[in-house]
């Protein structure tokens, strides 16, 4: 993607987001600023990811340079108005994945583009339906792929995604943490505005 005289700054420690941009042939520099990811309790679930992505972008306010576009993202997995973040233990990962078994849940990724002049924030939804998953299969997956750094305790690109996801409605890369086709559209629109 031609960014003209702009420089894209990815502010994400996620190796999946970094790899997705590399695979899409989008040049970027990495600049991660640790940010408080809390959000107001009254915030609607479909707005949480965008809110956090925007907070991550605003952390660059004092250091952003002309012609830089900061890209931030946050992914939230939820089911029945409960947010499933990154598991704090293998036991919590087990509980999360068993809750998704033979059911559908939502994955929201909020994306924010930020420059000295403007900001654009959007959220994207994908729905994921799992086939039935046994406790033994979940324990196998946790040992195999160690999903402790992933919202909802799984990676769609991992064994569990390949073998136990029955259907997806929405962007596959959104579930990985960055809806690449939508990010490209956002960048094109952002640079033209």
Find the catalytic residue in 2, 27, 36, 74: 74
- Write 135-141 long-range contacts (CB < 8 A, 24+): 135/94, 135/98, 137/164, 138/93, 138/94, 138/97, 138/98, 139/94, 141/97
Place of tokens 């640790």: 34
Residue 74 annotated in active site: yes
Q: How far is CA 69 from CA 22, 100, 130, in A?
A: 17, 36, 36
- Please, what sign has the CA dihedral across residues 88, 128, 160, 101? positive
What is the set of active-site residues? Answer: 74
């Amino acid at each position: 993607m031609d960014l003209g005289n702009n420089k894209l700054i990815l502010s994400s420690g996620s190796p999946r987001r970094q790899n997705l941009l590399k695979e899409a042939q989008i040049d970027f520099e990495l600049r991660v600023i640790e940010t408080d990811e809390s959000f107001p309790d009254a915030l609607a679930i479909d707005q949480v990811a965008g809110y956090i992505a925007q907070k991550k972008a605003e952390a660059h306010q004092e250091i952003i340079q002309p012609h830089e576009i900061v890209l931030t993202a946050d992914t939230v997995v939820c089911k029945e108005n409960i947010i499933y973040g990154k598991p704090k233990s293998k036991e919590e990962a087990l509980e999360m994945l068993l809750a998704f078994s033979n059911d559908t849940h939502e994955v929201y990724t909020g994306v924010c583009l930020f420059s000295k002049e403007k900001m654009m924030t959007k959220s994207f939804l994908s729905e994921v339906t799992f086939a039935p998953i046994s406790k033994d299969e979940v324990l196998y997956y946790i040992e195999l792929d160690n999903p402790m750094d992933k919202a909802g305790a799984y990676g769609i690109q991992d064994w569990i995604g390949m073998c136990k996801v029955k259907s997806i409605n929405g962007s596959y890369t959104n579930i990985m943490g960055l809806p690449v086709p939508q990010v490209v559209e956002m960048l094109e629109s952002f640079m033209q505005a």
